Structure 1
Amino acid sequence: MVEKLTPTESRQGQRGKPVLYVLLGSLALLAVATIGLLTWNGANSPKDWASQSQDASRKEITGSVTGTSSPSSGNATSVPSDNPAYPQPAQKGANGEAK
């Protein structure tokens, strides 16, 4: 004959909050592991491509990675003379027109 069980007897676990505690504990461990991973990865990662490119460009133009040139330069504003972003002012001709 088939054994009859009450609903309380047929449950796999006790009723209550132990499952909730396990879920909350696992989420807390996941948060700690994620923060640890991101911190470790950020500390050990090399510079990104844009920073490397910018450093190389600064070194090519000014001779140093910090972007400062030597103080013996005759150009007081540190702007290259042929820089299209800073065009030279037009020089007026003999009749007052721009050349």
Structure 2
Amino acid sequence: MSFWQILGRLAVSDTGETLQKLSDTTSVTCDGTTYTKMGSTTVGSDGSVFTQMGNFSTDGSTRMGSTATGIGAVFNERDDWPNSGAGASHAQKRFGIDDDTW
């Protein structure tokens, strides 16, 4: 399983893959696979389907703050994507890693 570092609207894996968030519902990988989010389900142009359950995904991946295992974990609720100037995300606050706790 790959490990992903989430950097704002970009996620980079330990294998060099990248995933860029284009909008609240659309993300694209470096190989051209497009992921579309519809509610708690994300569908990939490669035929993959993920369902999010908080910080977990049906592909067995999980996310804590800005680190994730597996590509499904980067598809969390909009509030879980870190965005500059907007304060800590819901997930970051839950795990105690927002700016106010450091």
Q: TM-score, normalised by structure 2?
A: 0.19
> Which has the bigger relative contact order, CA under 8 A and spacing at least 6?
2
Q: Which has the higher strand share?
A: 2
Q: TM-score, normalised by structure 1?
A: 0.19
Of structures 1 and 2, the larger Rg is shown by 1
Q: Which has the higher helix share?
A: 1
